[in-house]
């Protein structure tokens, strides 16, 4: 594969690869190795259908089907659509679904509140506004390597608790109380996730994080806020301006991400697939027994 750096500290742009041709034996091994070492990969100018998107996701692991997880039974998987569009036009600015999209503008890691967290997000652009609407990634692996000693001491052996409604409450109290925001019990994970391939550690943190086990609420929240602020300093952040067809994938174990605002008078549609981690991805290293 021909690649160029996405950011000085992490990530690659992969050139001249058609993701529709990737199979378990063709290019996926190279893509997976780059994913493990670089944490983020950009594939410009793709033309993938939902079926292609699903097939690519299945190479990385089990497709994350939240409805099936919540119901405790098999349910049809659907590619998630992140958009301010509906069949009747654009969502109103106070629409709770639009507010949920705005919650994604907090620095977060997907699915830390689920029984099994996400390994990867595969995000592709279908409709983009003329300005704004970027997606930003921050390397929590690079940030952890540079993190001040007092934060390393506080987080080295920490257990962090996660709750979806905690992040949503920062946007809207009404949003935070919706049933699909409160259906997941609080979830603890160890603060550091060592990559099973490279051995390098990353801070596993999110806007859903609301407590550090053994610390008072204010003290724990202060540490979480300070660590997030450090991880998202400019030297650790890549900002992606979307073009239609771009496919951006990232390692949920080693990055934070957020969306950026745009003029909601313009439509924007991205499609997303997350895949769940398995024990081969280092799940036991962060699971609290």
Instruction: Give residue 70's pLDDT.
Output: 84
* Token output for 7: 């950011």
Nearest Cα to 38, choosing from 206, 213, 208, 248?
Answer: 248
Whole-angstrom Cα distance, residue 239 to residue 257? 10
In degrees and rounded to multiples of 5, residue 17 shows phi and psi of -120, 125
Indicate which CATH number applies to the domain containing 215.
3.60.130.10
| 50-82 residue pLDDT tens | 999 999 999 999 999 988 888 888 889 999 998
pLDDT in tens, 175-199: 888 887 888 999 999 999 999 999 9
pLDDT over threshold 80, residue 249: yes
pTM > 0.85: yes or no = yes
User: Mind giving me the DSSP string for the chain?
Assistant: -EEEESSSSS-EEEES--GGG-BTTTBHHHHHHHHHHHSEEEE-S----HHHHHHHHHHHS-B--HHHHHHTS------EEEESEETTEEPPTT-HHHHHHHHTTS-B-TTTTSSS-EEEEEEEEEE--SS---EEEEEHHHHHHH--HHHHHHHTT-EEEE-HHHHHHTT-HHHHTSHHHHSSPPEEEESEEE-TTT--EEE---TTEEEETTS-HHHHHHHHHHHHHHHTSGGGEEEE---TT-EEEEETTSEEEEE----TTS--EEEEEEEE--GGGTHHHHB--
Q: What is the pLDDT of residue 242?
A: 98
State the average pLDDT over residues 218-239. Answer: 97
Percent share of the chain, pLDDT over 90 = 80
pLDDT digits (tens, 9 = 90+) for 125-157: 999 999 999 999 999 999 999 999 999 999 999
* Residue 226 banded pLDDT, cuts 50, 70, 90: very high
What is the percent of the chain with per-residue pLDDT over 70, rounded to a whole number?
100
Structure confidence by residue, pLDDT tens digits, 197-207: 999 999 999 99
Q: How many other C-beta atoms can be found within 10 angstroms of the C-beta atom of residue 104?
A: 19
**43 in Cβ contact with 245 (< 8 Å):** no
Domain hosting residue 101, numbered range: 2-286
- Does position 220 have pLDDT exceeding 90, yes or no? yes
Of the spans 88-92, 96-100, 188-192, which averages the highest pLDDT?
A: 188-192
Instruction: Provide the domain count of the chain.
Output: 1
Instruction: Please tell me the predicted confidence (pLDDT) of residue 89.
Output: 82
155, burial (CB in 10 Å: exposed 0-12, middle 13-18, buried 19+): buried
Output the pLDDT for position 289.
79
């Amino acid at each position: 594969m021909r690649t160029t750096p996405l950011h000085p500290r992490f990530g690659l742009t992969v050139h001249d690869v058609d993701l529709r041709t990737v199979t378990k034996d063709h290019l996926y091994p190279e893509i997976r190795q780059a994913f493990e070492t670089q944490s983020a990969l950009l594939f410009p100018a793709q033309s993938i259908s939902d079926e292609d998107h699903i097939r690519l996701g299945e190479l990385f692991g089990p497709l994350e089907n939240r409805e099936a997880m919540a119901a405790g039974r098999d349910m049809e998987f659907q590619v998630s659509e992140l958009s301010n569009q509906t069949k009747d036009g654009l969502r109103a600015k106070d629409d709770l679904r639009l507010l949920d999209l705005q919650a994604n503008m907090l620095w977060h890691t997907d699915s830390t509140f689920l029984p099994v967290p996400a390994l990867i997000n595969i995000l592709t652009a279908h409709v983009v506004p003329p300005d704004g609407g970027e997606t930003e990634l921050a390397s929590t692996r690079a940030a952890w390597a540079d993190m001040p000693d007092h934060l390393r001491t506080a987080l080295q052996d920490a257990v962090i608790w996660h709750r979806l409604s905690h992040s949503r409450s920062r946007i809207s109290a009404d949003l935070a109380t919706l049933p699909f925001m409160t259906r997941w019990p609080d979830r603890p994970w160890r603060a550091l996730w060592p990559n099973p391939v490279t051995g390098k550690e990353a801070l596993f943190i999110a806007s859903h994080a609301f407590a550090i086990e053994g610390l008072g609420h204010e003290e724990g929240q202060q540490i979480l806020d300070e660590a997030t602020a450090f991880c998202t300093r400019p030297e650790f952040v890549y900002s992606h301006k979307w073009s239609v067809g771009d496919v951006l994938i990232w390692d949920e174990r080693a990055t934070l991400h957020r969306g950026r605002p745009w003029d909601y008078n313009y439509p924007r549609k991205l499609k997303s697939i997350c895949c769940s981690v398995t024990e081969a991805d280092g799940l036991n290293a962060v699971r609290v027994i």
